[in-house]
Chain A
């Protein structure tokens, strides 16, 4: 009888571990498939949405030109110019064909997303690549910092949920979390930037400097990044804090926590290996969600801080109905968000041995 139980236990344990590895692999493949599909769907939606925005880019462009030069409009010349541009931008083709061409060039043509209006004849791709580091720099750094701080703080106040300081922290975080990001940004600009004058509140670096590997430039870069990053971090970090606190409190009610305390483990081990490790898993998923949900907030912050990132570029492109550029920005944003999310999701099985169950 005993031998029987043993044999069965051995077999099922090894089998289950093998099956486990297989399933994690399948999970990764599946997750990558989802990634590619979402990317395609996003490109498609972005393509059609921007072509449905009212206002013909050509008319707006010409209107701007004539106004700028103060000349009379010459109908024949305009016709010719418009025809020329429409050809360059491939706008005379029927919409489905435009779509297919767009996809073909984007995928096979080495990310050829067409020329831009805002800085014609600069390629949209180059424009976006030039601006993207600013956005991603601010965005990823602030989200990850906010996540680290929020996760640590939330774990602590969840662990000491009945402590007076924890309750104070909850009230503060709740207030910060419901504050719109742009209000925080404006508050920081006015207070830290203009009233106290402790930090610069506009532009990517001091005006008199040129980008170079010098300490002066880098320190100016960092100083200029602090306030925009803080604007992003305060609201997002408060959300992460509250999220982690709730996760901690729910984990503290689990049976395995009672058992951990019953075993006589030190409180620190209980906190670290039993409570925190388990609360961390959904908190990482939360990071993936927040990455997707907060990039647009960063765009607004860029505009408020005159930061030369994608958000600022987007506003310029919007003014001209430059859908090539708008579309490229949206595309790169989606690409960045989906890729970051993919990385986070693929990291999950490292944290959670049960991942295949929830996937």
Chain B
């Protein structure tokens, strides 16, 4: 993997603290996030996407725990920081300036008792802006998401779901961060609003040059705006590649299943995935996908496949490609 990535994640594991032991939810994720891209992280619900997002943000709360790994982030001035080792107070200064988060459940992410203005500007003021600058920045950010500045005087419950989501996005981009982690950005919204917000997000990327990790269970969302896709299954990356490559020629059987499950407008029968994603307490041995895999063979339930590079920008974790990969070197 190249050294030019904005964020370099290596061996990231996170789990749930039980009475005696930790149940691993995210297992040894390696991922390079390139500057300026929209990286989609996609997988069925329950496969650890939100845990991964919160782990990247260092926002896990008990029982969730970080177990191991490194996350190296390159700042604008060329310096790098190791997110895993950053003390809390330094991390705090990095947030919103360099690293923003749009959490899953954004409907409830605004403080119900404070006006929008206060919630947007308090952050900016604490990051060193004057009151006036903070207000100007907030207004500029609201314009990016096509909201009138009147929302500044509103309480969250006076706003519709789409408006709330836009306020969150505006807040997250108001300090022009290099990296934005957005978890299920559009899940709770109607289709029209979904599409508008995705367009706004793409525009923000173009205008601010931000890098976005877009987490979603919806392949359709990924197809609309992502540049690259990481397909996640049971806490691991199954396949990683450009959107075009993966949609044209999915190689991991799980990626094929996911793409096959996208509802077609023509009303074709959907041939998709059978069964359900396992919970972290019953991750299968070997390849975690093997109980559901249509192409499972002997090796699969004993040996764990690792993520192997198959082409430029193409990584797959599946035993089907073991021999080829070995020959390729």
Residues of chain B within 8 A (CB-CB) of A6 are 146-148
Question: In the complex, how many residue pairs between chain A and chain B have their CB atoms under 8 Å apart?
Answer: 107
Q: Is the CB of A264 within 8 A of B157?
A: no
Choose among B54, B126, B148, B155 the residue that contacts A9 (Cβ–Cβ < 8 A).
B148
**Assembled-state Cα–Cα distance A265/B146 (Å):** 26
* C-alpha spacing A278/B155, complex, angstroms: 14
Whole-angstrom distance between the Cβ of A60 and the nearest chain B Cβ: 57
Given contacts A256-B110, A258-B61, A265-B126, contact A353 B155 (CB under 8 A): yes
Check: A2 CB closer than 8 A to any chain B CB: yes
| 3 A-B pairs closest in CB distance | A264-B95, A262-B101, A259-B109
In the bound complex, CA of A354 to CA of B94 (Å): 33
B60 nearest CB neighbor, chain A only = A258
Chain B, residues 105-116, CB within 8 Å of chain A (1/0): the string is: 111111111100
B109 near A264: Cβ-Cβ < 8 Å:
no
Most buried by B among A260, A263, A265: A263
Confirm or deny: B123 has a beta carbon within 8 angstroms of a beta carbon on chain A.
Answer: yes
Within 8 A of B (CB), among A1-37: 1-2, 5-6, 9-10, 12-14, 16-17, 20
Which residues from chain A contact B158 at a C-beta distance below 8 Å?
A: 12-13, 16-17, 20
- A281 — which chain B residues lie within 8 A by C-beta? 113
Contact A353 B157 (CB under 8 A): yes
Bound Cα distance from A260 to B61, whole angstroms: 14
Tell me if A5 and B157 are in contact (CB < 8 A).
Answer: no
Q: Which of A250-280 contact B (CB under 8 A)?
A: 254-256, 258-266, 269, 273-274, 277-278
- Cross-chain contact B123 with A265 (CB below 8 angstroms): yes
- Scan residues 8-59 of chain B and give those whose CB is less than 8 A from a CB of chain A: 54, 57, 59
Check A255–B154 contact: CB distance below 8 A: no
A262: chain B residues within 8 A (beta carbon) = 57, 59, 95-96, 100-101, 103
Specify the main secondary structure of chain A where it touches its partner: helix
Cα-based distance from A12 to B59 in the complex (angstroms): 34
Interface residues of A in 232-263 (CB under 8 A from B): 254-256, 258-263
21 residue pairs A–B, Cβ–Cβ below 8 Å: A6-B147, A9-B147, A10-B148, A12-B160, A13-B148, A255-B106, A255-B107, A256-B112, A258-B61, A259-B110, A260-B111, A263-B171, A264-B92, A264-B95, A264-B97, A264-B127, A265-B92, A266-B92, A266-B126, A273-B118, A277-B113
Q: How far is the CA of A68 from the CA of B122 in the complex (A)?
A: 76
Indicate whether A183 reaches chain B with its CB closer than 8 angstroms. Answer: no
- Min CB gap A181→B, angstroms: 34
Question: Which of A1, A262, A274, A357 has the most chain B CB atoms inside 10 A of its CB?
Answer: A262
Judge whether B129 is part of the interface by a CB distance below 8 angstroms: no
Interface status of A87 (Cβ within 8 A of chain B)? no
Does A97 sit at the interface, judged by CB under 8 A? Answer: no
B residues with a Cβ closer than 8 A to A are: 54, 57, 59, 61-62, 91-97, 100-101, 103, 105-114, 118, 122-123, 126-127, 146-148, 150-151, 153-155, 157-160, 163, 168, 171, 196
Instruction: Report chain B residues within 8 Å CB of A216.
Output: none
Q: Is the beta-carbon distance between A353 and B92 smaller than 8 angstroms?
A: no
Contact A264 B126 (CB under 8 A): yes
Cα-based distance from A265 to B163 in the complex (angstroms): 23
Q: How far is the CA of A261 from the CA of B101 in the complex (A)?
A: 10
B92: A residues at CB distance < 8 A = 264-266
Name the A residues within 8 Å of B94 (CB-CB).
Answer: 264
Q: B200 — nearest CB in chain A belongs to which residue?
A: A2
Identify the closest chain A residue to B109 (Cβ).
Answer: A259
Cα-based distance from A263 to B146 in the complex (angstroms)? 22
In the complex, are the beta carbons of A5 and B146 less than 8 A apart? yes
| Cβ-based interface call for A91 (8 A) | no
Contacts of A16 in B (CB 8 A): 154, 158
Separation of A255 and B113 alpha carbons in the complex (Å) = 14
Q: Are B59 and A5 in contact (CB under 8 A)?
A: no
- By a CB distance below 8 angstroms, the chain A residues around B110 are 256, 259
- Contacts A256-B108, A273-B111 given; does A357 touch B157 at CB 8 Å: yes
Q: Which residues of B contact A2 (CB under 8 A)?
A: 146
On whether the beta carbons of A17 and B154 are closer than 8 Å, the reply is: yes
Counting CB contacts under 8 A, is A126 at the interface? no
B117 CB to closest chain A CB (Å) equals 12
- Is B113 within 8 A of A353, CB to CB? yes
| 5 further contact pairs, Cβ within 8 A, besides A6-B146, A254-B108, A278-B112 | A16-B154, A258-B103, A259-B168, A262-B59, A264-B97
The answer, yes or no, to whether A352 is at the interface (CB within 8 Å) is yes
State in angstroms the CA–CA spacing of A210 and B109 once bound together: 61
Asked if A255 and B123 sit within 8 Å, CB to CB, the answer is: no
The residue from A13, A14, A259 contacting B159, defined by CB atoms under 8 A apart: A13
With both beta carbons as reference points, the residue of chain A lying nearest to B92 in the complex is identified as A264
Which chain A residues border B97 with CB–CB below 8 Å?
264
User: Does A351 count as interface, using CB distance less than 8 angstroms?
Assistant: yes
Give Cα distance in the complex from A353 to B119, angstroms.
Answer: 15
Across the interface, do A13 and B155 meet the contact criterion of CB distance under 8 Å? Answer: no
With A and B bound together, what is the CA distance between A5 and B200 in angstroms?
Answer: 13
Contacts of A254 in B (CB 8 A): 108
When distances are taken between beta carbons in the complex, the residues of chain B under 8 Å from A260 are 111
Report whether B196 and A258 are in contact in the complex, using a CB–CB cutoff of 8 Å. Answer: no
Q: Are B109 and A256 in contact (CB under 8 A)?
A: yes
Q: Is the CB of B150 within 8 A of A10?
A: yes
Output the least CB separation between B236 and chain A (Å): 25
Q: Which A residues touch B54, using CB under 8 A? A: 258
Q: In the complex, A269 Cα to B107 Cα: how many Å?
A: 22
A273, B114: Cβ atoms under 8 Å? yes
- Contact call B111/A9, Cβ cutoff below 8 A: no
